[in-house]
Structure 1
């Protein structure tokens, strides 16, 4: 699977660990930055992640910041992206099954690496259920409908 990952400075270590682990799992991973712990603005990296999800360069995205909140808000500014803030595998699974999420966000200051890996695994392995959920997902990108 083609996966893009981005963070702010607070989540550099978790981003690097997840990136390397995903590559070991056989995924193609695009690390969209940043590369250092120098202070950056999370919206810049959230917007970059949303762009590659929206244009199809990546199939799924992982957004990380200190809490996961700010970067999830920035990613969700793009109507083609459905990013869910998750903290455990059940929410990561349900966001795929019911909401067809194509991106998840997590907080590096709140979620340890083992839990983050469990969330990513659930996110990547769960299929969208479709059916009655499709109508609702369609409204997320097209609220007028």
Structure 2
């Protein structure tokens, strides 16, 4: 499995912890995020993640910024991307089960680092339920 990850300055420490966690599980990670805490513009690091998922270079994406909102809005501008802003494991599970989310947006300023790692694990281990949810997803317009 290959995961693309991107972050702005608010998510650098989280990104590093998540990358280490994923690599320890044998997962390949494509790092598009900044490696410093110097202020940067999140779209510069989110668009490449969304593109990797869009063209199937990565199965899933993880994006991290302060609130998670800007990164999430940016990712969702891409065709066939269903990025979900999540702040706990229950929301993550529902985003995968009901919305077939393919990118997880994490709000670094509103989640603990260990919580974020647990959210990533739930995201990667939860399957889309399909059925009535697939019909609903088909009604989301593609730009």
In structure 2, how many angstroms separate the alpha carbons of the residues matched to 1:86 and 1:6? 16
Deviation at residue 142 of structure 1 after TM alignment:
3.6
Equivalent residue number for residue 131 of structure 2: 131
Gaps of 5+ in 2: none
Contact 2:80 / 2:142 at 8 angstroms: preserved in 1?
Answer: no
Tell me the SS of whatever aligns to 1:139.
coil
Equivalent residue number for residue 18 of structure 1: 18
**Structure 1 residue runs of 4+, over 6 Å off?**
none
Alignment of 1:65-80 (within 5 A): 65-80=65-80
Alignment of 1:94-133 (within 5 A): 94-133=94-133
Calculate the TM-score normalised by the size of structure 2. Answer: 0.95
In structure 1, how many angstroms separate the alpha carbons of the residues matched to 2:90 and 2:7? 22
In structure 2, how many angstroms separate the alpha carbons of the residues matched to 1:77 and 1:46? 11
In structure 1, how many angstroms separate the alpha carbons of the residues matched to 2:50 and 2:121? 20
Deviation at residue 141 of structure 1 after TM alignment:
4.5
Calculate the TM-score normalised by the size of structure 1. Answer: 0.94
Work out whether 1:85 is the aligned partner of 2:91.
no
Deviation at residue 127 of structure 1 after TM alignment:
0.5
Deviation at residue 79 of structure 1 after TM alignment:
2.4
Deviation at residue 139 of structure 1 after TM alignment:
2.1
Gaps of 5+ in 1: none
Deviation at residue 126 of structure 1 after TM alignment:
0.6
Contact 1:79 / 1:141 at 8 angstroms: preserved in 2?
Answer: no
With over 3 angstroms needed to count, the CA separation of the structure-2 counterparts of 1:142 and 1:75, relative to structure 1, is: closer
CA displacement 1:62-107 (0-9 Å, x = unmatched) = 0000111110110111121100000111110110000000011011
The count of residues paired between Structure 1 and Structure 2 equals 143
Contact 1:6 / 1:45 at 8 angstroms: preserved in 2?
Answer: yes
